[in-house]
A = this chain, B = another copy of it.
Amino acid sequence: VQFHHRGYVSGEPRIEPAAGFGIDRPVELPDELDVLIVGTGPAGMIAAAQLAQFPGVNTRIVERRGGRLEIGQADGIQARSVESFNAFGFAHRIIDEAYRITHMAFWNPDPENPQNIIRISLPEDDPAHLSEWPHLIVNQARVLDYFAEFAQNSPGRITPDYGWEFLDLTVHDGPDAGERPVEVRLRRSEGTPGAGEERTVRAKYVVGCDGARSDVRRAIGRRLVGDQAMHAWGVIDVLAATDFPDIRTKAAIQSHDGGSILLIPREGGHLFRLYVDLGEVREDDGGAVRRTPVETIIERANRILHPYSVDVKSVAWHSVYEVAHRLTDKFDDVETDAEAERTPRVLIAGDACHTHSAKAGQGMNVSMQDGWNLAWKLGHVVEGRASEALLSTYSAERQVIAKNLIDFDKEWSTLMAMKPEDFDDPNYLSDWYVKTFEFPSGLMTQYTPSILTGGDEHQALASGFPVGKRFHSAGTVQASTGNPKQLGHLHRADGRWRIYVFADPAAPALAGTPTAALADWLAHDPASPLAATPVGGDDDAWFDVKVIYQQDHAEVNLNEVPAVFKPVLQPFGLTDRAKVFASGTVAGEYFDIFEERGVDRAGAIVVVRPDQYVSAVLPLTATDELAAFFAPILATSAPAAV
């Protein structure tokens, strides 16, 4: 984070100066606004946090509940989410308080004594080290708290509007559509002041993050389609005395009579969660399974854990989680055949679009990636940085991810529900877990070619940065400080595009090298994407351009680095020297990102979207392609700086 550059800040530097709609933001929900988010779950809160970085957008987020979530719901945080948390500034803090999964234990009936369970394997959770970030367990409520803090400290100063229930919406078109075509009916929730009162607001866009029973989804006529039957799990978050030796390790436990438990150790050192499989919910169940008493769940758990037992001292939370594999065909209000005519006005994200079991720990994670994917696009479109075409990419990109998730989760759930004797190989389940780990870690997502994702023609120039996948961070040495820096960790959720210039082998020079020529084009050519940057603000307000030289950091003289890599910041006209990187050994560790990520020594350009996915890999000389990539994305007329 950079600070003090607009003058000395005494106190918490993470509180950015308010700007735009963040200045004197009214406590009351206004009648007219730009983006209305419905629901403060993970999808909604990440979207609000991201939009808080666009203070030119008047964003509000309404929630039916009277206040923050206090307990319960999901707790699995995949590596991709922790990467994302880092972009929102709270990865280290949440790691400090979370439980970290490094192993998974598999317990089966003892073949010699099937009433007893025994541990059959203890594989590592991420044996291939797909991410430098850990796999965590922490309550969903804490994740939401951190996003809330980020949103509140961001220039947009967004805080949730609690106690408002979404009722319905109408998307006006024709003459009365105006600038804010979406009319939304809201009602003050039960138990809040003015309960029952209704009002309408008008918005440019509405985002439905209102969970599996989404009213926004209903309002745009979309349906969750999939399995008929629900599956039920008894979920308990408990404090207990137990002799089960792996009580502090994530474990899949199968007993001889077909019962199964997923054990999730929780944050704080003592709490743990058990998912006890309650099987398919019968059609004539009539809510009976939902009324399963907590004692029954605990008793069932004890039967499965035999010869071990849990003596529950305190139940922090329990629930019967009923869910089916279901998916909606499109995540917005525009039918596929109407896409040429109009772009979306209402979009849905998270559980509103897809539901599945909790077994693979995906719910909160995929929902957050939905929300982030959508929010920066809304920010760009509403602020006038980008064309509305951007919004159509949201459903196109995320619906297929949800489809893959449901397929994966079905397979995993089926495997976990199988009886031990149905497997030829007792290690089949644990082997499958390890083999497929990239998927549940959230790192397998790969967007296919679109206006946001280029082709793989030049992939060989940077084989470690696959186009369409998330930018996989690697270590470099910052030239101006000699500090080791993970390049990807500097990518904050500030809504900016990243252009990484991996330099040719010549030393830094103001002219006469491919890198210098590219730098010159970027800074001065009217076709450069940077030409869209509003005048009067910071040079890097929209595009964060970084250069990585192959040389040792001690050999890089900042005075010889082209100006585009050293943007000038307002109001003092200071030079930012933080964007120049190199290689070298620091504190005994050698850093060379070219080697680590297979970047061609001739150099390359890597373009990364605001949500950290690689958009394009290009040669240093490919200025035409670079211009052509950004042309359809960027709005034709750039607005003024906020």
Name A residues whose Cβ lies closer than 8 Å to a Cβ of B. Answer: 1-5, 7-14, 70-71, 89, 92-93, 96-97, 99-100, 102-103, 122, 124, 126, 129, 141, 145, 237, 239-241, 243, 245, 247-249, 265-271, 313-314, 316-317, 480-484, 554, 557-559, 569, 572-578, 586-588
Contact = CB atoms under 8 A, between A and B. Distances in A.
Given A93-B92, A96-B92, A573 B10 contact: no
Nearest to A558: B245
B4 A267 contact: yes
Nearest to A121: B554
Number of copies: 2
A100 B481 contact: yes
Interface of A is mostly: loop
A554 B122 contact: yes
A583 to B, nearest CB: 14
A572 B314 contact: yes
Contacts of A265: 481
20 contacts: A1-B97, A1-B268, A2-B269, A2-B270, A4-B266, A4-B269, A10-B70, A10-B141, A11-B141, A92-B96, A100-B483, A102-B481, A102-B587, A124-B482, A124-B586, A129-B587, A248-B481, A249-B482, A270-B574, A313-B572
A390 B92 CA distance: 37
Given A102-B484, A241-B573, A574-B241, A587 B126 contact: yes
Given A2-B268, A248-B481, A574 B313 contact: yes
A451 to B, nearest CB: 33
The residue in A14, A129, A269 that gathers the most chain B C-beta atoms within 10 A of its C-beta is: A269
Given A10-B70, A587-B129, A243 B559 contact: yes
Contacts of A97: 1, 13-14
Nearest to A265: B481
A240 B573 CA distance: 9
B270 A4 contact: yes
A423 to B, nearest CB: 22
A247 B103 CA distance: 45
Given A3-B269, A572-B239, A102 B313 contact: no
A247 B480 CA distance: 8
A-B pairs with lowest CB-CB distance, top 4: A8-B316, A4-B268, A248-B480, A103-B482
